[in-house]
Amino acid sequence: IESPRITSEILISHILSIPKTKLYLKLDDFISKDEFEKFWSLVVARSNNIPIQYLTQEVSFLDLKLFIKEGVFIPRPETEILAQKAISILKNMSINEDRVDYPDFAEKAARMVASKELKMGILICNTAIGMPVFLQIIPLRV
């Protein structure tokens, strides 16, 4: 396990429901048998390479603490960097508030972005197939 001390601190602070920073103030305190058993079961699970975020059911993303459970993708650090960059770009742009959620207009909007008639377009799709389909129809030049 990478960083076993930090991992242990995260797990025990999760069991005790206290911030990790306050854990150091309680170094002389004892934990109950029940708390120890919960902690040990998490240590065993972590030693089987279960991500710590699944064990604590919590992940931080963009200064938010999010509840997650096994089966939910854990955001990678690169995803957070990408999201921060996108937010920074969007904050510094004048944005047309018009929204279109008609599938037949999405192709037209993508063509307008590709031809540089529009500076930017955002495609939000419920399925992972949306973007590859549009990239086949309208090759984008980066």
Assigned domain for 75 exists = no
Between these two residues, 70 and 141, which has the higher pLDDT value?
A: 70
For 64-90, the DSSP string reads: EEEE--TTSPPPPHHHHHHHHHHHHHH
Tell me the residue range of the domain where 131 lies. Answer: 95-142
In a domain, 70, yes or no: no
92-98, Cβ contacts within 8 angstroms, sequence gap of 24 or more:
93/119, 93/120
In a domain, 90, yes or no: no
What global pTM score does this model have? 0.62
Among the ranges 43-47, 73-77, 97-101, which has the highest mean pLDDT value?
43-47
pLDDT of residue 37 exceeding 60: yes
Confidence class of residue 10 from pLDDT cuts 50, 70 and 90? very high
Is residue 139 situated within a structural domain? Answer: yes
Residue 101: per-residue pLDDT: 58
pLDDT at 142: 43
Closest CA to 20 of 5, 41, 1: 5
Q: What percent of the chain has pLDDT over 90?
A: 27
Number of domains in the chain: 2
Residue type, 23: L
Give me the pLDDT at residue 138, please. 53
Residue 45, in any domain of the structure: yes
